[in-house]
């Protein structure tokens, strides 16, 4: 019997899927700082300490200015952040 038929069949399970987290706009509103990056989110306890990346999603309200660096954002979240006077730095431009 050929080797490919003898070996057990398994699906693909991403090892990094659980380490990419989503952050709501309402959670950013509660943070006392204006400049937010991955380390700031970890120290505040918003995301787990072993997270590799974070992405801000449009959920909740944002009434103050925040500057995101090294954190992704959806189109809707980016529009709300920029409307409040904040900015979103491109992830590729930020080096870790």
Please say whether the beta carbons of 54 and 23 come within 8 A.
Answer: yes
8-60, pLDDT tens digit by residue? 888 888 888 889 999 999 999 999 999 999 999 999 999 999 999 999 999 99
Q: How many domains does the chain have?
A: 1
Residue 63 included in any domain: yes
Range of the domain at 61: 20-93
* C-alpha 19: how far from chain center: 10
Angstrom CA distances, 72 to 2, 6, 88, 89, stand at 46, 43, 8, 8
In order of 39, 50, 69, the CA distances from 35 in angstroms are: 11, 21, 7
What is the model's pTM?
Answer: 0.77
**pLDDT tens, 48-83?**
999 999 999 999 999 999 999 999 999 999 999 999
Please report, for the domain that includes residue 24, its CATH number: 3.100.10.10
Residue 1 domain flag: no
pLDDT of residue 18: 83
pLDDT the model gives residue 93: 55
pLDDT band, very low/low/confident/very high, at 90 (cuts 50, 70, 90) = confident
The reply to whether 59 falls in a domain is: yes
- Supply the pLDDT for residue 92: 61
């Amino acid at each position: 019997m050929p080797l490919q038929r003898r070996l057990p069949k398994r699906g693909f399970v991403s090892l990094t899927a659980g380490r990419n987290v989503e952050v709501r706009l309402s959670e950013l509103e509660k943070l006392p700082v204006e400049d937010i990056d991955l380390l700031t989110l970890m120290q505040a306890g918003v995301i787990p300490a072993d997270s590799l990346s974070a992405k801000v999603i449009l959920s909740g309200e944002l009434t103050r200015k925040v500057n995101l660096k090294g954190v992704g954002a959806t189109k809707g979240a980016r529009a709300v952040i920029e409307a409040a006077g904040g900015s979103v730095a491109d992830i590729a431009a930020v080096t870790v």
